[in-house]
Amino acid sequence: MKKLLLYSLLVISFWANAQQKEKDSHLPKGNDAFADKNYAEAEAEYRISESNNTKKSIASYNLGNAVYRQNSAAEAKLHYVKAIKNAKTRTEKHLAYHNIGNALMKEKDYSNAVEAYKNALRNNPADEETRYNYALAKKMLKENPPKKDDKKNKDKNKDKKEEKKNQDKDKDKDKKDDKNKDGKDKDKDKQNGKNDKDKQDKDQNGGKPQPQPGGISKQRLENLLDAVNNEEKKIQDKVNKQKVQTNPKKAEKDW
């Protein structure tokens, strides 16, 4: 299985020979390093080759292979996708799709691996190794069905949280309304209590309401204060006069 999944990693020379006419010294250096299993050095050369030939698929494909051999399947897929984007032939697309399937199998993403191998077969229906990997991916998918849609569950949980949030808002609004209502009721009760007191005072005074302190004018209040002060002064003078008449005078001291 391992041999079949990785077979296409050895077809680097196919594209290298097909594009020898291009002046790219980094691509053959990367191929030599890859053949010597020096994948880090090969990766460096392929990256330079890819940056110098952004419209060519071979450097991206070979870079994906070098990265894959360094146990970075996720990154390798990105380079294979770029190779497919720039691919000019069905053969190039077939090889890149096949290796995307290999990377997905390594990640145990069997559902997408099936689709990748299917796309590889569309570009080369005669490749038996791709067909074998396709059948293997389908078998693994059947034995390891994907879990329930996480996105669906997340959306469901999100809806529940949103619903709870709205319910909390409604509760807060109800509490606020109740509070305002209670305040109005208290004011109403207070007003009613005042009216009841006025009615009681009116009944006790022959139906005539008593004047409130606030109803006395400023001038009248000042006149009343002056009258009180005058009365107090008269009384104090009278008291002082009586004290003088009743107290005996002291005799002079004998020598």
Span 199-237, pLDDT tens digits: 555 445 444 444 344 445 566 566 667 766 766 676 677
Bigger pLDDT: 199 vs 114:
114
Residue 199 lies in a domain: no
- Would you state the pLDDT for residue 248? 44
- Would you state the pLDDT for residue 210? 41
The string over 80-115, giving b where at least 16 C-beta atoms fall within 10 Å of a residue's C-beta and e elsewhere, is: bebbbebbeeebbbbbbbbbbbbbbbbeebbebbbb
| Residue 117 Rama label (left phi>0; alpha psi -120 to 50; beta) | alpha
Q: How many domains does the chain have?
A: 1
Find the domain containing 77 and state its range: 2-143
Furthest-apart CA atoms within the chain: distance in Å: 158
Q: What is the CATH number of the domain that holds 116?
A: 1.25.40.10
pLDDT at 136 over 80: yes
Residue 31 lies in a domain: yes
**Which pTM value belongs to this model?**
0.53
- Would you state the pLDDT for residue 49? 93
Q: Rounded mean pLDDT of 9-30?
A: 65
Cα 12 to Cα 96: distance, rounded to the nearest angstrom: 11
- Would you state the pLDDT for residue 148? 73
Residue 204 lies in a domain: no
Q: Rounded mean pLDDT of 92-97?
A: 96
For 148-181, write each residue's pLDDT tens digit.
765 555 556 666 666 666 666 665 656 655 555 5
The string over 164-178, giving b where at least 16 C-beta atoms fall within 10 Å of a residue's C-beta and e elsewhere, is: eeeeeeeeeeeeeee
